[in-house]
Structure 1
Amino acid sequence: MEPRFACTACGKCCHGLLPLTLTDAVAHAVRFPLALVWTVVRSNAKSYDLATRLGTSVRLPNRKTVAVLIQPTAYLPNHFPCPALQADNLCGIHADKPSRCRTMPFYPYREEKDQADLLVPRKGWECDVSAEAPVVYRNHAILDRKDFDRERAELLEQAPVMRTYADYVLKYMPWIVNDLAKMAAAPAGGKLVTSLSSFLTATRRTDARELAAAQAPLMQAMAERTRTDPALADFHKNYAGWAKEMERLAQRP
């Protein structure tokens, strides 16, 4: 049976971390609290070769090499809705929504031939996979591929910038390699989060001050929202620290 899929605008996928292209992260810097999320891809993974093209390769202390994806991300706790999600569960920026949202449920960090399982809705999601929904995937190929190709192209275009950032972090924060090694050894993998300020410093963007000025109040607001929930202590610590970093960066001459 050919996979069918249609979005029902249930809003269930619009919660928690949202990976963004660098273009979208910059465009929505006034809306999303941003961070860089690192994910290790082991050499035996199906997507390893693609991950080396979209991310970078890192040699670990045990002399094994892994691919590392570094994703600009809307940094939100899992149960927090997207800031653009309206009360009626519709997207408030539908005409200008990020590529990641347009491409869903497909994922350009995977090879196109390995997308079939992404068409199975997660528990609680209300995606339409009935016979009335359109066929979207056939013979391991995406049928309406415009959004997928666009997001993949953006990821490939930004890859050199992400490698520059990775080199900077591994040089000035060498302990990160040990964290990546732990992630590579863990059965469930894991994620490592670094600040937007470190990215802006490493890449020397000319718009760094403007981006920092946009991010500072968002980080302050998120620090306040997460202040009293012990389960969100790590999020709160990051938001509070990053708010100060953004304030300092915004005031640089």
Structure 2
Amino acid sequence: MSEPQESARSVLVTGGNRGIGRAIAEAFLAQGDKVAVTTRNGGGPDGALDVRCDVTDPEQVEAAYAEVEAAHGPVEVLVANAGITKDTLLLRMSEDDWSSVIETNLTGSFRLAKRASKGMLRLKRGRIIFISSVVGLLGSGGQVNYAASKAGLVGMARSIARELGSRGITANVVAPGFVETDMTEALTDAQKDAIKAQVPLGRYASTDEVASVVTWLASDGAGYVTGAVIPVDGGLGMGH
């Protein structure tokens, strides 16, 4: 029998100031966990430790972990959510359009997971959850860089799952589809209708629906789930 888990865990959510990341942070706070969020410009939810961090800077990542560990103890649940898009067609995609998206979404997640694993190995437990996208599995015109970065998270998570599983550490991926956020609000009604027509459930996800899958993956009930890719996409990417 493993020791009972303390009720309040040290949770770190990157990109926790808006959209999916904020909903995830709020869901862990509602459970009574000690939550830290990283943001580039501040504005995390009430009750969370708001840490400034650009995940493309290794020194900032190290400093962020030091701040979180001092306040909440070693990170027991990492949710790597911070991400950017620089959408354009392949032939117009600049070196920077490519490298900046890969650096933030994929390499940033690598840095976060590597640093979190140090504390998790000492604790002999931990949950690493990467926020990917249905686009990483289905592809999307104009998003070669973003899709590649999000697909890369799957290979990373499954390799970590194999490497660290014997130490009580799980690594999983959540792949949201279209979600009601500031990013989707900018679409025209015609664009929104066209997207909904592709989704069997005929609607967008709420950020809370994504957050509830993340909190479940971090719960005792998901202790035997690792290396999984869980879609929250209304059936859009079925079978992928």
- TM-score normalised according to structure 2 size: 0.29
TM-score (norm 1): 0.28
Task: Kindly name which structure, 1 or 2, has the bigger radius of gyration based on alpha carbons.
Answer: 1
Flag the structure with more relative contact order, 1 or 2, with Cα contacts below 8 A and sequence separation at least 6. 1
